[in-house]
């Protein structure tokens, strides 16, 4: 087809004017490209742009959704302590969880890469299990294990004479528990991405580095990590967005409690919007995530583009 469009672009001079220009327009490469992406654009507009626009519109309405109050919902939110604690908790939750997931994922990938190929598949499969179980279900399992009196975690601790921990009852432990479950669920994704990235580093670079005088740690620092920089920043960005918007784990494990101290934006938006019936304010809560994530995305993607231009 490219050849087709190319010749079509060159020959129109010989066509009769009038009918030619429309035909030419229809056969231009960019027109065809646009037409071919149309189905996808329709899906994006229908499932992303329209709900986003509608969300913004909703957030400007009053509780009964009959009057437009502009930024009124935001002003009220800025004045509530709970909102600020949710904002904090969301940031702490997302950043800690993503960092831990990335570190553990990298460590697992590194370990996996260095075990012989035969055992590797088995281990890889087993380590991926947390990621393929529906999180609502596995979180329920964790909830049961966190139970202060009857369950496994405190039982194991009691064997080592550690006093029972009120996992979901005390704010600090509840926050740790939420992060733990999120890390448990999300680390395999990092592992599989990093494993693919590690495997794509040419073996000869390590050999060259070994001869250049690098020890194991230096090879990791000067060869593996720089070669993986792109995949690391993209996975971290992606995971930051998903973790920031996490809903199910908080909802199932703590439901935001104790005292709303483990709420993140998504679960808080649900609580305000659906459970308390103030849909416009719930919309305002969830929209608050947008600028934070947009700034992250901008910087990360800029780094990726720059590196791509230089290296690939």
Partner 1 sequence: MAQVSLRKLVKAYEGNVQAVKGIDLEIADHEFVVLVGPSGCGKSTTLRMIAGLEEITGGDVAIGGTVVNDIPPRDRDIAMVFQNYALYPHMSVFENMAFGLTLRKFPKDEIKRRVDNAARILDIVPLLERKPKALSGGQRQRVAMGRAIVRDPKVFLFDEPLSNLDAKLRVQMRTEIKKVHQTVRTTTVYVTHDQVEAMTLADRVVVMNHGVIEQVGPPQELYHHPATRFVAGFIGSPAMNFIPGRLEGDAHGLRLVLGSGVILPVPPERTARYAPHAARPVLLGIRPEHLTDKKPTDKRNIADFPATPEVIEPMGMETLVHFRIDGHEISARLDPACPVAVGEPITLAADMDQMHIIDPETDKVL
- Among the listed residues 223, 236, 237, 249, the single contact to partner 1 using CB under 8 A: 223
By C-beta, is 209 or 231 nearer to partner 1?
209
Residue found under tokens 């979901």: 168
Determine, following the binding rule CB under 8 A, whether residue 209 of this chain makes contact with partner 1.
Answer: yes
Residue pair 86/263 in contact (Cβ under 8 Å)? The answer is yes
* ω into 258 cis (within 30 of 0): yes
Using alpha carbons only, how large is the chain's radius of gyration in Å? 26
Strand-pairing partners, residue 61, are 68
Q: Which of 177, 192, 157, 195 is nearest to 252 (CA)?
A: 177
**In the complex, least distance from residue 155 CB atom to partner 1, rounded to whole angstroms:** 46
**In the complex, least distance from residue 213 CB atom to partner 1, rounded to whole angstroms:** 4
Determine, following the binding rule CB under 8 A, whether residue 119 of this chain makes contact with partner 1.
Answer: no
* Tally of CA atoms within 13 A in the half-sphere of 248 that contains its CB: 13
Q: Which of 306, 310, 312, 260 is nearest to 285 (CA)?
A: 260
**In the complex, least distance from residue 215 CB atom to partner 1, rounded to whole angstroms:** 7
138 membership: H or E segment, kind and range: helix 135-146
Determine, following the binding rule CB under 8 A, whether residue 4 of this chain makes contact with partner 1.
Answer: no
- Euclidean distance between CA atoms 278 and 19, whole angstroms: 57
Q: Rounded to 10 degrees, what is the CA torsion of 186, 300, 77, 171?
A: 30
**In the complex, least distance from residue 196 CB atom to partner 1, rounded to whole angstroms:** 18
**In the complex, least distance from residue 302 CB atom to partner 1, rounded to whole angstroms:** 17
Determine, following the binding rule CB under 8 A, whether residue 117 of this chain makes contact with partner 1.
Answer: no
- Among the listed residues 7, 152, 200, 215, the single contact to partner 1 using CB under 8 A: 215
By C-beta, is 23 or 218 nearer to partner 1?
218
By C-beta, is 147 or 212 nearer to partner 1?
212
Residue pair 105/116 in contact (Cβ under 8 Å)? The answer is no
- Among the listed residues 35, 212, 277, 298, the single contact to partner 1 using CB under 8 A: 212
* Segment lying near partner 1 (by CB under 8 A), choices 71-79, 133-141, 203-211, 271-279: 203-211
By C-beta, is 68 or 218 nearer to partner 1?
218
Residue pair 235/301 in contact (Cβ under 8 Å)? The answer is no
Determine, following the binding rule CB under 8 A, whether residue 19 of this chain makes contact with partner 1.
Answer: no
Determine, following the binding rule CB under 8 A, whether residue 75 of this chain makes contact with partner 1.
Answer: no
**In the complex, least distance from residue 209 CB atom to partner 1, rounded to whole angstroms:** 8
Q: Would you give the end-to-end CA distance of the chain in angstroms?
A: 28
* Segment lying near partner 1 (by CB under 8 A), choices 22-30, 41-49, 58-66, 217-225: 217-225
By C-beta, is 182 or 230 nearer to partner 1?
230
Query: Site residues for partner 1, window 269-308 (CB under 8 A)?
Result: 307
- Among the listed residues 227, 231, 234, 292, the single contact to partner 1 using CB under 8 A: 227
**In the complex, least distance from residue 311 CB atom to partner 1, rounded to whole angstroms:** 4
- What residues contact residue 35 under an 8 Å CB cut-off, 6+ apart? none
Determine, following the binding rule CB under 8 A, whether residue 234 of this chain makes contact with partner 1.
Answer: no
Q: Which alpha helices (H) appear in 45-80, and where do they start and end?
A: 50-58, 72-79
**In the complex, least distance from residue 198 CB atom to partner 1, rounded to whole angstroms:** 15
- What residues contact residue 94 under an 8 Å CB cut-off, 6+ apart? 240, 243, 244, 246, 264
The residue ranges that bind partner 1 (CB under 8 A) are 202, 204-205, 207-215, 218, 222-223, 226-227, 229, 307, 310-312
């Amino acid at each position: 087809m490219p050849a087709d469009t190319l010749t079509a672009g060159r020959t129109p001079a010989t066509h009769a004017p009038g009918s030619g220009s429309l035909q030419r327009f229809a056969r231009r490469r960019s027109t065809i490209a646009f037409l071919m992406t149309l189905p996808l654009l329709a899906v994006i507009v229908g499932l992303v742009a329209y709900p986003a626009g509608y969300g913004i519109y909703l957030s400007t309405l009053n509780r009964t959704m009959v009057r437009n109050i502009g930024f009124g919902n935001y002003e009220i939110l800025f004045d509530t302590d709970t909102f600020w604690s949710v904002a904090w908790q969301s940031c702490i939750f997302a950043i800690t969880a993503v960092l831990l997931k990335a570190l553990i994922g990298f460590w697992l990938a590194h370990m996996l890469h260095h075990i012989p190929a035969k055992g590797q598949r088995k281990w890889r499969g087993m380590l991926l299990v947390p990621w393929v179980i529906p999180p609502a279900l596995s979180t329920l399992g964790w909830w049961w294990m966190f139970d202060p009196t009857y369950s496994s975690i405190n039982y194991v601790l009691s064997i080592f004479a550690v006093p029972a921990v009120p996992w979901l009852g005390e704010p600090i432990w509840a926050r740790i528990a939420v992060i733990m479950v999120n890390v448990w669920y999300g680390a395999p994704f990092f592992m599989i991405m990093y494993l693919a990235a590690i495997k794509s580093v040419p073996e000869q670079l390590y050999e060259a580095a070994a001869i250049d005088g690098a020890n194991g740690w230096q090879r990791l620092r000067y060869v593996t990590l720089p070669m993986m920089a792109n995949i690391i920043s993209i996975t971290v960005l992606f995971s930051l967005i998903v973790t920031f918007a996490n809903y199910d784990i908080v909802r199932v494990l703590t439901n935001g409690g104790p005292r709303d101290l483990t709420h993140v934006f998504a679960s808080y938006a649900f609580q305000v919007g659906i459970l308390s019936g103030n849909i416009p304010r719930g919309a305002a809560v969830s929209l608050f995530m947008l600028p934070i994530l947009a700034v992250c995305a901008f910087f990360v993607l800029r780094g990726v583009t720059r590196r791509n231009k230089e290296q690939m």
